Amino acid sequence: MFTSNPCWDALTSELLPGQTPADRPDLVVCVFNMYKDALLDDIANNKIFGQTHTCVHLIEFQKCGLPYMHLLLSLFPYHRPLTPAEVDSLICASWPDPQQEPILFNIIKCCMVHRPCACTFPHAPCMKDGKCSKGFPKSYQLQMLMTTEGYPTYT
């Protein structure tokens, strides 16, 4: 999934004083498409994941009006990651160093971390029937595992 970010500099720098991204859906979509096209170009032409067999995407809008893309990518067999080490070369499921990569660290801290739930916050949006619908807290994994269903379990 590729989600738009209302804090993108390319978006916020074009807003008039007092405007928010919600005031300019045309601009939000334009900037989103610019980043989406760059990502798809990197995948198809620069082959950042290897030779693609199929690439299908769908654009939807969140309730707040921000666009996001679902992307289904199929690689040719000789480029598919089959081992934990090959998956680790494509995916990083760890915190970046806040000293060396402060911008990336803050993005991940703000946008990609599941907030506290369960006993601490029983009324969190993810809670269903007294349990976290997203399966948190997750058990600690010493290393990434490949399951038989094709879903990796990250460290």
Range of the domain at 93: 81-155
Residues 135 and 68 in one domain: no
Contacts (Cβ under 8 Å, ≥6 apart) of 3: 62, 66, 68, 69
Average pLDDT over residues 14-24: 93
Residues 108 and 48 in one domain: no
Residues 101 and 120 in one domain: yes
Per-residue pLDDT for 72 more than 90?
yes
pLDDT score recorded for residue 155? 56
Reduce the DSSP state of residue 71 to 3 states and report it.
strand
Residues 85 and 61 in one domain: no
Among residues 39, 55, 80, the one where a domain terminates is 80
Across-strand partners of 70?
Answer: 58
Return the number of other C-beta atoms located less than 10 Å from residue 32's C-beta.
Answer: 23
Per-residue pLDDT for 58 more than 90?
yes
Longest dimension (CA), the chain: 53
Look at residues 94, 96, 92, 84 and name the one whose alpha carbon lies nearest to residue 144: 84
Per-residue pLDDT for 146 more than 80?
no
Residues 45 and 103 in one domain: no
The structure tokens listed for 54 are: 């199929």
Among residues 80, 109, 136, the one where a domain terminates is 80
Q: Are strands 52-61 and 152-153 parallel, antiparallel or unpaired?
A: unpaired
Residues 115 and 154 in one domain: yes
Q: Are 84 and 146 in contact (CB under 8 A)?
A: yes
> Would the pTM of this model clear 0.75, i.e. be above it?
no
Residues 127 and 145 in one domain: yes
The fraction of the chain above a pLDDT of 70, given in percent, is: 95
Among residues 80, 109, 133, the one where a domain terminates is 80
Domain total in the chain: 2
Tell me the pLDDT band of 116, cut-offs 50, 70 and 90.
Answer: confident
pLDDT in tens, 22-37: 999 999 999 999 999 9
Cα separation, 60 vs 22, whole angstroms: 16
pLDDT mean across residues, the chain: 87
Which H/E stretch holds residue 69?
A: strand 67-75
Residues 1 and 76 in one domain: yes
Which H/E stretch holds residue 55?
A: strand 52-61
Residues 109 and 127 in one domain: yes
